[in-house]
């Protein structure tokens, strides 16, 4: 199984196997969208999950990620059926012994902030926006993801899987 992570600017922040990242976004869909229905989480569950974040989407996506982290802090991790969500317990890098979901996924929240800041730093330094997106972090696949034209992401249909799952 391939490892994936957030990429922004010039840095990749690895999370682990694809199944871990899938579960993170399933938790957002199940818990955040259900409980906080007044928010549109598609910046995270579609743009970040399947495509990339445009420069003007960074701040709103960061705000949504903060809402998710706050919500996850109220959900006990032992109430989640990890097996049904497709978790690969042998490969996971997640710590299910943490009491709440925000702690299970703490690195995701930190890495998202780091990727956002890296993208902003790259833009400020080189005047080039390298978007925040999920990429395969293993070589040689990372090279393909890093160099993939944004037009290919934009061309994804509503039922097409993200490139990092192919």
Would you state the pLDDT for residue 113?
98
Would you state the pLDDT for residue 148?
95
Would you state the pLDDT for residue 85?
86
Range of the domain at 86: 3-165
Please give the Cα distance from 78 to 4 (Å, whole number).
Answer: 25
pLDDT in tens, 50-75: 999 999 999 999 999 999 999 999 99
Distance of CA 32 to the CA centre of its chain: 14
Residue 34 CB-half CA count within 13 A: 8
pLDDT in tens, 82-94: 988 888 888 999 9
> Which stretches of the chain drop beneath a pLDDT of 50?
none
Q: 126 phi and psi, to 5 degrees? A: -110, -5
Find where tokens 């999370």 sit. 15
Would you state the pLDDT for residue 135?
97
Would you state the pLDDT for residue 32?
82
Would you state the pLDDT for residue 35?
75
Would you state the pLDDT for residue 86?
80
* Radius of gyration for the chain, computed over Cα atoms and rounded to the nearest angstrom: 15
DSSP assignment of 4-46: EEEEETTEEEEEEEHHHHHHHHHHIIIIIHHH-TTS-THIIII
pTM: 0.93
The pair of three-digit structure tokens given for residue 105, joined into one six-digit string: 């996924």
Domain tally, the chain: 1
CA dihedral 93, 94, 97, 100 (to 10 degrees): 170
Helices 106-126 and 58-72, axial angle in degrees (round to 10): 170
Q: Any idea what DSSP says for residue 133? A: E
Please give the Cα distance from 48 to 65 (Å, whole number).
Answer: 11
């Amino acid at each position: 199984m391939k490892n994936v992570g957030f990429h922004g600017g010039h840095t990749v922040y690895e999370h682990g196997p694809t199944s871990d990242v899938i579960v993170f976004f399933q938790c957002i869909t199940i818990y955040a969208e259900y409980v906080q229905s007044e928010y549109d989480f598609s910046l995270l569950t579609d743009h970040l999950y399947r495509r990339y974040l445009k420069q003007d989407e960074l701040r709103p996506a960061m705000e949504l990620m903060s809402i998710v982290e706050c919500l996850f802090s109220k959900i006990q991790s032992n109430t989640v059926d990890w097996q049904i969500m497709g978790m690969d317990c042998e490969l996971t890098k997640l710590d299910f012994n943490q009491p709440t979901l925000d702690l299970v996924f703490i690195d995701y929240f930190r890495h998202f902030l780091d990727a956002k800041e890296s993208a902003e730093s790259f833009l400020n330094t080189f005047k080039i926006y390298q978007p925040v997106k999920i990429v395969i972090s293993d070589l040689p696949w990372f090279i393909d993801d890093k160099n993939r034209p944004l037009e290919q992401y934009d061309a994804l249909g509503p039922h097409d899987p993200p490139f990092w799952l192919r």
